[in-house]
Structure 1
């Protein structure tokens, strides 16, 4: 496997967040796919999350489907939509790793879509299923170091409708953290805003193997 990873540029565009905005007011979506072994190593193991159990073998999991402004994003929005029932969040475990993750994503981001909870999770699953995850990552069993650009290249190769401006790779603690894909409201790829395009530029980012 080729090697080359990306360093998270924290000096780019200032981050703008808006708490308590009206639900449904946003420009596009960011589909965030987290590399599960990184999250487990940095947070999940300490929390004893079921996502990190040896038998699970998660690769890229759905972190969230986030409403986004052209610059910044809404969060914890005002909505009349009811919170999801436990069975609704539990049903997302197969792609999100744990039901608690689904609940948190609804609370912070899902409410901002203006959708009912069941519709939000249905849309999130549809967005996740629309992405082809490169086979090399689905079967990665050993720890490697590589450039983040290699991860981006792999996603672009198997998802030919994506462009470099619609996909970004982030790193955390010198590890591959996430692949983020920008989508319009019809879930078609579009260019990311300036606050999303903050590609990691490491040449030796760590990517732990699937457990």
Structure 2
């Protein structure tokens, strides 16, 4: 065997000898991230072009539940194997009042809920509990026109309206110059806790676009 072929064969053997990436295990994680999305901005960036019912004129969504995500101290599990039945259409439809669409509820269960170690019913119940225990600042629903504002203002409003919530327990994200999400870090018992280093990075924009509720 010539040297180049020997080297290729050796490289192939080395690759085959590497251990396969371990499957994330359901129930093995450190904390949750409660992700709240500002619906009007999501609609402007993505939902309108998809024809999402979340963005219909007769809907008045503000902060919707994007998801309750199991997290490691760094990184996160996803698409875990589990032994539960998948959620039914009725299960996902019942979450649309806080998630915008049943499709998002389905997607969030498969990617994130499957790693919680909970059944779909229990995961959705826990998600609803987490969503309900935080006050979503009413001031943003009073806007009648698009505004630009510092992303830090969103964080300050959440901390003002939720006593005991600290700056290292919430982070604000932006996308394409717009406010995207407020993410609150929680223990497995849904108590606020410090975010991991890969979550805590705040948007630093001073002129982020914020659309009013439709």
Question: Is TM > 0.5 for Structure 1 vs Structure 2?
Answer: yes
Contact 2:141 2:212 in 1 (8 A): no
Q: For structure 1, list consecutive stretches of 5 or more residues without a partner in the other structure.
A: 1-17
Q: Where do 5+ consecutive residues of structure 2 fail to align?
A: 1-20
Counterpart check, 1:70 vs 2:73? yes
Q: Does the residue aligned with 1:123 lie in a helix, a strand or coil?
A: helix
Point out which structure has higher relative CO (alpha carbons under 8 A, 6+ apart). Answer: 1
2:27 to 7, 24, 29: 24
Q: Which residue of 1 aligns with 2:172?
A: 169
RMSD: 1.1
> Structure 1's 111 and 19: CA in aligned 2 closer, same or farther, altered over 3 A?
farther
What is the match of residue 56 of structure 2? 53
- Map residues 162-201 of structure 1 onto 2, 5 A cutoff: 162-201=165-204
1:19, CA displacement in angstroms? 8.0
Distance in 1, matches of 2:206 and 2:112, equals 32
CA distance in 1, matches of 2:104, 2:204: 28
Aligned residue among 108, 119, 122 for 1:116: 119
Higher helix share: 2
8 Å Cα contact 1:145-1:206 kept in structure 2? yes
Runs of 4 or more above 6 Å deviation:
none
CA distance in 2, matches of 1:130, 1:149: 22
Cα separation, 1, equivalents of 2:25 and 2:36: 26
User: Which structure has the greater CA radius of gyration?
Assistant: 2
CA contact (8 A) 2:34 2:186 kept: yes
C-alpha deviation, 1:138, in angstroms = 2.6
Distance in structure 1 (CA, Å) of the matches to 2:47 and 2:208? 19
Tell me the TM-score normalised to structure 1 length: 0.90
Deviation (angstroms), 1:140: 2.5
Q: TM-score, normalised by structure 2?
A: 0.89
